[in-house]
């Protein structure tokens, strides 16, 4: 009986599969190829900085303190020359007026080859900032602003007993500093935690932040002078006379509980996520702290990154439909995301998509080559990454074919307008079942990271597809200002080739809902194949064949689920960003977890409240994942425990 049912089901699924996927949808690598850059044996290329020189050479700085100049870097035989060495963990490099500038841990340094022998002999300190000597006091930059001044950002240290709590032990840790070529430093903005990726884009200053205490998730922020980016450690120095930030620590902590709590032994307790609590969000606190800056675009944790890095703007001449948009790297997930920004009611906001995964190490630096390819500087030392090499220099090359992608998503008074890179298949695009929407936000609290909270599924009420098939405007009910709106377009197909989108999910940060005309219901399609069982059964099955199949099988079997059966679940809950079945990545492989012989109940509780101290060999903490339901956790536990 059982057997027959399963056989029929499997047969049905495979038929629908073969019918639909006769021609496979092209993937990332069919458009954007990751090439290596030839490197001679010797240097340890833990890339900390990349910059293209006016002549097309690539200057590169490393965490080992070396600076290389790579001549003809896009050719088959680049020539490598060591320009400078012996510097302290250089995490950025820039070129200006014949000199290279690098940020070491403790200073901005100008490197000059005065005697023209191809190597620097002047190592001039432009400005040295204080340090306490804590390992985490990394410094990033410089980026050169329009006025010729330099921007440098400074990581915070961590507590001794409170090793989880970021602190600013000396002035300017947790700050952006603006430094003139003559060495005059002016504090620029505060509230940084781990600002590893800073950028000058269209003469504005941007950065990406890493998830951690007070930072629910990574994202892209635009920085103006006097902004407070959200982490309170740096506020310790806002009473200094030259501080452009006026918000004081005392006031901050009078409004926000920093949860400095001791146990009975007098030891501090690490703050953990509380599942049922009333919490604050960044946007709520902005009403109390006007200097607090909201991100232009969140890069949802575990989905578009776990440790966001450098962002660059795509130049006009390359990467086809995406010219003018922003690419942002991620160290932990070895990926690059793409961001489209727009300004609504004077506020910047936008949408983020996955763009390219599969880099060999952690993506830290991005820089354009003169041929329109993108250099990717990589390192994962100390943190681990999905790409398991320790370091690397790669090059992302576009083949000028157009991938079927969401080119942009724009906020509308009643929903969103999605623009595509190629015309859509009208039938799929006019079907509401092709669209899914939900929204969520993160907590603003002293806990390491935040789970997505206040998650709501949103109803798609109608869709209007443009005559040229390049735009679909959808009415989304229950838009929430400031929230991240996730649009999933699994069912959408291209007109040519009936392809799926290469990346079907968009994350729109809705800082402002625009005013203007709303669509009338008379002009939109409200057809929904999901609501009418008779319509387009094959399309419906194709959207989630594995899910449906697995669920059906599960009811008839007590066997532990296979990886294929839980893959969707693991992806949805972002487990796979850090865990692999057998390989060590950011976190331990599932096979290692299996050896701990946790009960499903225990695994459920560990997903909600991870205990990083159980895994001393891993350096990145797992954030709490209370959004994983008990049923899901038990299913995941069943899979994990089948591996031992």
Partner 1 sequence: MNLNVTKAGLTATLWLCGTVLALGQRIDLKDLSAFKNPGSSWSVAGNVFADLNAENILKPTKGDGILVNQSTAKKAGSDLYTVNEYGDVAVELDYLTSKGANSGIYLQGNYEIQIDDAWGLRNATSHNNGGIYQRWDDSKPEAEKGYGGVAPRQNASKAPGLWQHIKIVFQAPKFDAAGKKISNAKIISIDLNGVTIHENVELFGATRGAAGAEKASGPLRLQGDHGSVAFKNISITPLTALPKMRQGNDDDPIYINAESNNMLRSFVDVAPGVRSVHAISVGGPEKTAYSYDLDNGTLLQGWHGGFVDATPMFHDRGNGTSRALGSVTHFTAKPVLAIAKLANAQDKWNADTTGTGFFTKGYILDSQERPAFKYYIYGNTVTDDVKILANGQGISREISLEKPAEGLYFLLASAAAVEDLGNGLYLLGDKAYYIQLADGSAKPVIRDADGRKQLIVAMGSKLSYTLLF
The answer to whether 333 touches 385, Cβ cutoff 8 Å, is yes
| Short-list 449, 436, 444, CA closest to 624 | 449
Q: Which residue lies nearer to partner 1 by CB, 7 or 619?
A: 619
**135 touching partner 1, by CB under 8 A:** yes
224 Cα distance to chain centroid = 22
**Binding residue (CB under 8 A) for partner 1 from 8, 12, 128, 531:** 128
Four-residue CA torsion sign, 238, 241, 246, 247 = positive
Taking the complex as a whole, how short is the minimal distance between the CB of residue 446 and partner 1, in angstroms? 22
Tracing tokens 């906020």 back to the chain, one arrives at 411
**63 touching partner 1, by CB under 8 A:** yes
Taking the complex as a whole, how short is the minimal distance between the CB of residue 137 and partner 1, in angstroms? 8
Compute the C-alpha angle 368/369/371, nearest 5°. Answer: 120
Q: Which stretch binds partner 1 (CB under 8 A): 101-109, 202-210, 445-453, 605-613?
A: 101-109
Q: What is the DSSP string of 298-331?
A: EE-TTTS-SBEEEEEEPPTTSSGGGTT-EEEEET
Q: Which residue lies nearer to partner 1 by CB, 194 or 373?
A: 194
**280 touching partner 1, by CB under 8 A:** no
Taking the complex as a whole, how short is the minimal distance between the CB of residue 102 and partner 1, in angstroms? 11
**Binding residue (CB under 8 A) for partner 1 from 47, 67, 70, 131:** 131
Q: Which stretch binds partner 1 (CB under 8 A): 13-21, 62-70, 296-304, 557-565?
A: 62-70
**619 touching partner 1, by CB under 8 A:** yes
**186 touching partner 1, by CB under 8 A:** no
Q: Which residue lies nearer to partner 1 by CB, 427 or 584?
A: 584
Taking the complex as a whole, how short is the minimal distance between the CB of residue 280 and partner 1, in angstroms? 31
Q: How far apart, in whole angstroms, are the C-alpha atoms of residue 628 and residue 281?
A: 21
**Binding residue (CB under 8 A) for partner 1 from 25, 33, 124, 419:** 124
Q: What is the DSSP letter of 194?
A: -
**Binding residue (CB under 8 A) for partner 1 from 89, 367, 394, 431:** 89
**388 touching partner 1, by CB under 8 A:** no
Tokens of 16: 């629908």
Q: Which of residues 41-60 bind partner 1 (CB under 8 A)?
A: 44
| Short-list 472, 476, 491, 475, CA closest to 433 | 491
**Binding residue (CB under 8 A) for partner 1 from 137, 291, 378, 425:** 137
Q: What is the DSSP string of 347-390?
A: EEEEEEEEEE---SS-EEEEEE-TTS-EEEEEE-TTT--SS--S
**379 touching partner 1, by CB under 8 A:** no
Q: Which residue lies nearer to partner 1 by CB, 327 or 586?
A: 586
**Binding residue (CB under 8 A) for partner 1 from 51, 59, 60, 65:** 65
**Binding residue (CB under 8 A) for partner 1 from 87, 306, 475, 524:** 87
**Binding residue (CB under 8 A) for partner 1 from 32, 60, 64, 570:** 64
Q: Which residue lies nearer to partner 1 by CB, 44 or 551?
A: 44
Four-residue CA torsion sign, 415, 418, 424, 428 = negative
How many CA atoms, within 13 angstroms, populate the side-chain half-sphere of residue 364?
34
Taking the complex as a whole, how short is the minimal distance between the CB of residue 236 and partner 1, in angstroms? 18
Q: How far apart, in whole angstroms, are the C-alpha atoms of residue 467 and residue 445?
A: 47
Q: How far apart, in whole angstroms, are the C-alpha atoms of residue 197 and residue 141?
A: 8
Q: How far apart, in whole angstroms, are the C-alpha atoms of residue 253 and residue 236?
A: 11
Measured distance between the N- and C-terminal CA atoms of the chain, rounded to whole angstroms: 31
* Site size for partner 1 (CB under 8 A): 35
Taking the complex as a whole, how short is the minimal distance between the CB of residue 157 and partner 1, in angstroms? 11
Residue 618 burial class via C-beta count within 10 angstroms: exposed 0-12, middle 13-18, buried 19 and up: middle
Q: Which residue lies nearer to partner 1 by CB, 139 or 439?
A: 139
Q: Which stretch binds partner 1 (CB under 8 A): 80-88, 314-322, 363-371, 498-506?
A: 80-88
**82 touching partner 1, by CB under 8 A:** no
The CA distances from residue 452 to 217, 569, 640, in Å, are 9, 16, 24
Q: How far apart, in whole angstroms, are the C-alpha atoms of residue 492 and residue 451?
A: 29
Q: How far apart, in whole angstroms, are the C-alpha atoms of residue 540 and residue 547?
A: 12
**Binding residue (CB under 8 A) for partner 1 from 56, 171, 183, 514:** 183
**615 touching partner 1, by CB under 8 A:** no
What residue ranges bind partner 1 (CB under 8 A)? 44, 63-65, 85-89, 104-107, 109-110, 120-125, 128, 130-137, 183, 381-383, 619
């Amino acid at each position: 009986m059982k057997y027959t049912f399963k056989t029929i089901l499997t047969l049905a699924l495979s038929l629908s599969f073969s019918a639909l996927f006769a021609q496979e949808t092209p993937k990332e690598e069919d458009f954007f190829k990751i090439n290596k850059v030839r490197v001679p044996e010797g240097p340890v290329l833990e890339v900390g900085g990349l910059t293209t020189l006016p002549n097309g050479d690539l200057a590169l700085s490393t965490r080992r303190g070396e600076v290389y100049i790579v001549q003809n870097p896009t050719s088959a035989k680049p020539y490598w020359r060591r320009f400078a060495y012996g510097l302290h963990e250089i995490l950025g490099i820039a070129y200006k007026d014949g000199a290279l500038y690098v940020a070491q841990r403790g200073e901005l340094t100008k490197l000059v080859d005065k005697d023209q022998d191809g190597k620097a002999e002047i190592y001039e300190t432009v400005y040295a900032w204080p340090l306490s000597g804590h390992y985490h006091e990394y410094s990033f930059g410089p980026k050169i602003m329009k006025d010729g001044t330099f921007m440098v950002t400074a990581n915070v240290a961590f507590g001794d007993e409170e090793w989880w709590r970021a602190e600013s032990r000396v002035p300017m840790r947790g700050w952006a500093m603006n430094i003139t070529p003559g060495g005059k430093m002016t504090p620029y903005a505060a509230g940084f935690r781990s600002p590893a990726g800073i950028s000058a884009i269209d003469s504005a200053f941007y950065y990406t932040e890493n998830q951690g205490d007070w930072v629910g998730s990574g994202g892209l922020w635009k920085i103006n002078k006097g902004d407070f980016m959200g982490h309170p450690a740096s506020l310790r120095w806002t009473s200094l006379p030259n501080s452009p930030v006026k918000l004081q620590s005392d006031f901050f902590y009078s409004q926000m509980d920093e949860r400095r709590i001791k146990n009975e032994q007098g030891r501090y307790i690490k703050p953990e996520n509380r599942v049922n609590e009333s919490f604050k969000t960044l946007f709520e606190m902005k009403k109390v702290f006007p200097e607090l800056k909201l991100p232009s675009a969140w890069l949802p944790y575990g989905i578009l990154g776990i440790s966001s890095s450098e962002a660059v703007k795509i130049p006009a001449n390359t990467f086809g439909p995406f010219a003018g948009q922003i690419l942002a790297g991620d160290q932990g997930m070895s990926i690059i995301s793409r961001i489209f920004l727009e300004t609504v009611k004077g506020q910047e906001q936008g949408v983020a998509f996955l763009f390219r995964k599969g880099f060999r190490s952690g993506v830290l630096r991005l820089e354009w080559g003169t041929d329109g390819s993108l250099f990717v500087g990589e390192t994962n030392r100390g943190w681990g990454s999905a790409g398991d090499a320790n370091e690397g220099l790669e090059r992302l090359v576009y083949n000028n074919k157009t991938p079927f992608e969401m080119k942009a998503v724009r906020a509308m008074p009643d929903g969103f307008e999605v623009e595509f890179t190629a015309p859509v298949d009208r039938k799929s695009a006019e079907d509401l079942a092709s669209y899914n929407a939900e929204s969520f936000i993160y907590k603003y609290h002293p806990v390491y990271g935040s789970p997505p909270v206040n998650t709501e599924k949103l109803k798609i009420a109608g869709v209007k597809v443009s005559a040229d098939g390049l735009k679909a405007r959808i009415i989304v009910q229950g838009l929430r200002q400031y929230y991240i709106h996730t649009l999933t377009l699994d069912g959408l197909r291209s007109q040519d080739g009936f392809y799926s989108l290469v990346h079907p999910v968009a994350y729109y940060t809705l800082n402002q809902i625009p005013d203007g005309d709303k669509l009338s219901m008379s002009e939109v399609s409200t057809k929904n194949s999901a609501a009418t069982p008779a319509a387009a059964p094959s399309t419906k099955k194709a959207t989630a064949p594995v899910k449906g199949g697995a669920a059906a099988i599960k009811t008839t079997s007590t066997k532990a689920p296979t990886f294929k059966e839980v893959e969707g679940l693991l992806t949805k809950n972002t487990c796979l960003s850090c865990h692999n079945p057998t390989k060590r990545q950011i976190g331990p492989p599932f096979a290692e977890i299996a050896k701990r012989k946790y009960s499903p109940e225990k695994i459920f509780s560990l997903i909600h409240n991870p205990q990083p101290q159980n895994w001393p060999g891993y350096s990145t903490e797992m954030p709490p994942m209370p959004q994983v339901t008990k049923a899901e956790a038990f299913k995941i536990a069943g899979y994990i425990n089948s591996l031992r």
